[in-house]
């Protein structure tokens, strides 16, 4: 039988078949050669073949794409979701505060995996409560993401504002939802997928695995709405996966036109070197100063070979 993984951890997975039925399946040993590099062999969105009688997973279909990160605790790349149409980064202007550095990392990973990324700023009803300076900064960053051709949605899962536009954009798609805890992922899922009710609030669904606790990603589908969401409640930080330090300037959209064009080429450190095209672009406004800061942090982290959990 074949089916799609909806959730699971290292060797036990929930698989949804065409019937439709949900089966608990297992992997024994290293049957999936493609998985050896990863912390986890399968992720929500993966399509698998399993033995109907025993529930043993026999093989996995090659992935169309994968959204991954470097799992610093497990010291290996981790597949967060497979075979997706888009990544939606959920943020908020307050409670919790806007975190543009997390968005920069997410966009980098999405572009590296060739997955369209979009940003939804939830809790737009809270904008009037934010101080004027912070509000201007948030608006400037959101405008900058839009300038770089990322789709930006201003929404409120509470008041319903902006949800129709987002919903029609997501129709027919499988989307990974990533965002800080408290940004409103559960509330948004309830609004987008009325057929799948989730409990909102500070307490997450936790999966106890020995001495440390992990929150599972899960594929939720509302067939009537034609939208599937892969919820990722456990993603607090994103260390890039599979990206070399030199590649960052080619992958970050605002840096790409200047990549390798500095007088010292790819060996330019973009500090005070003469003929540094990237610093010039920051001065002219072609690259936002905050994006430059993210770029410096990410490349330093990758060059040092140390992958730290920095948001």
Q: Smaller CB distance to ligand GDP: residue 1 or 126?
A: 126
The one among 16, 158, 169, 310 contacting ligand GDP by CB under 6 A: 158
Q: Does the protein bind ligand GDP through residue 167 (CB under 6 A)?
A: no
SS3 per-residue string spanning the chain: CEEEEEEECCCEEEEEECCCCEEEEECCCCCCHHHCCCCCCCCCCCEEEECCCCCEEEEECCCCCEEEEEECCCCEEEEEEECCCEEEEEECCCCCCCCHHHHHHHHHHHHHCCCCEEEEECCHHHHHHCCHHHHHHHHHHHHHHHHCCCEEEECCCCCCCCHHHHHHHHCCCEEEEEECCCCCHHHHHHHHCCCCCCCCCCCCCCEEECCEEECCCEEEEECCCCEEEEECCCCCCCCCCCCCHHHHHHHCCCCHHHCCCCCCHHHCCCCCCCCCHHHHHHHHCCCCHHHHHHHHHHHHHHHCCCCCCCC
**Among positions 87, 115, 157, 176, the unique one binding ligand GDP when judged by CB under 6 A:** 157
Among 17, 173, 181, 214, binds ligand GDP (CB under 6 A): 181
Q: How far is the CB of 59 from ligand GDP (least distance, A)?
A: 34
Q: Determine which residue in the list 201, 210, 289, 305 makes contact with ligand GDP, applying CB under 6 A.
A: 201
- Of 13-21, 34-42, 155-163, 248-256, the segment contacting ligand GDP by CB under 6 A is 155-163
Q: Which stretch binds ligand GDP (CB under 6 A): 19-27, 108-116, 118-126, 216-224?
A: 118-126
What lies within 8 Å, CB to CB, of 195 at 6+ separation is 222, 223, 224, 225
Scanning 57-65, 184-192, 257-265, 292-300 for contacts with ligand GDP by CB under 6 A, the matching segment is: 184-192
Q: Which of 14, 40, 83, 183 contacts ligand GDP by CB under 6 A?
A: 183
Q: Which of 71, 122, 217, 232 binds ligand GDP (CB under 6 A)?
A: 122
Both tokens of 67, joined, read: 């959204």
Determine the size of the site formed for ligand GDP (CB under 6 A).
17
Tell which one of 125, 137, 246, 280 touches ligand GDP (CB under 6 A).
125
Q: Which is nearer to ligand GDP, 218 or 301 (CB)?
A: 218
**Residue 62 and residue 42: Cα distance in Å, rounded?**
11
> Is the CB of 158 or the CB of 310 nearer to ligand GDP?
158
Q: How far is Cα 58 from Cα 153, in angstroms, rounded to an integer?
A: 41
The answer to whether 200 contacts ligand GDP (rule: CB under 6 A) is yes
Per CB under 6 A, 185 contacts ligand GDP: yes
Please identify, using beta-carbon distances, which residue of 8 and 184 lies nearer to ligand GDP.
184
How many CB atoms lie under 10 A from the CB of residue 43? 28
Q: With binding defined as CB under 6 A, does residue 91 bind ligand GDP?
A: no
Contact 124, 158 (CB under 8 A): no
- Does 182 bind ligand GDP (CB under 6 A)? Our answer is yes
Residue 123 interacts with ligand GDP (CB under 6 A): yes or no: yes
Residue 294 touching ligand GDP (CB under 6 A): no
Minimum distance between the CB of residue 139 and ligand GDP, rounded to whole angstroms? 17
> What residues line the site for ligand GDP (CB under 6 A)?
122-123, 125-126, 156-158, 179, 181-187, 200-201
């Amino acid at each position: 039988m074949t089916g799609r993984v909806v959730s699971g951890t290292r060797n036990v997975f929930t698989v949804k078949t065409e019937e439709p039925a949900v089966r608990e399946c297992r992997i024994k040993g290293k049957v999936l050669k493609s998985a050896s590099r990863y912390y986890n062999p399968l992720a929500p969105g993966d399509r698998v073949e399993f033995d109907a009688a025993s529930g043993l997973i026999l093989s996995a279909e090659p992935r169309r794409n994968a959204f991954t990160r470097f799992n610093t605790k497990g010291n290996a790349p981790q597949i967060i979701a497979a075979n997706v149409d888009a990544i939606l980064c959920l943020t908020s202007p307050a409670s919790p505060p806007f975190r543009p550095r997390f968005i920069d990392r997410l966009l980098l990973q999405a572009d590296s995996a060739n997955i369209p990324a979009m940003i939804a700023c939830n809790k737009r009803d809270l904008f009037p409560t934010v101080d004027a300076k912070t509000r201007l900064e948030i608006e400037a960053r959101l405008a900058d993401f839009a300038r770089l051709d990322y789709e930006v949605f201003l929404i409120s899962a509470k008041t319903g504002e902006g949800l129709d536009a987002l919903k029609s954009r997501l129709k027919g798609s499988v989307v990974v939802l990533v965002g800080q805890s408290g940004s409103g992922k559960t509330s948004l899922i309830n609004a987008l997928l009325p057929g799948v009710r989730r409990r909102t609030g500070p307490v997450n669904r936790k999966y106890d695995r020995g001495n440390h606790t992990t929150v599972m990603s899960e594929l939720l589908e509302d067939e009537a709405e034609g939208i599937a969401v892969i919820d990722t409640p456990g993603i607090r930080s994103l260390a890039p996966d599979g990206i070399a330090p030199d590649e960052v300037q080619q992958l970050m959209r605002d840096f790409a036109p200047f990549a390798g064009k500095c007088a010292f080429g790819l060996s330019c450190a973009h500090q005070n070197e003469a003929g540094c095209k990237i610093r010039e672009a920051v001065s002219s406004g072609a690259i936002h100063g905050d994006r430059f800061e993210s770029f410096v942090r990410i490349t330093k982290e990758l060059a040092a070979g140390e992958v730290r959990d920095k948001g």
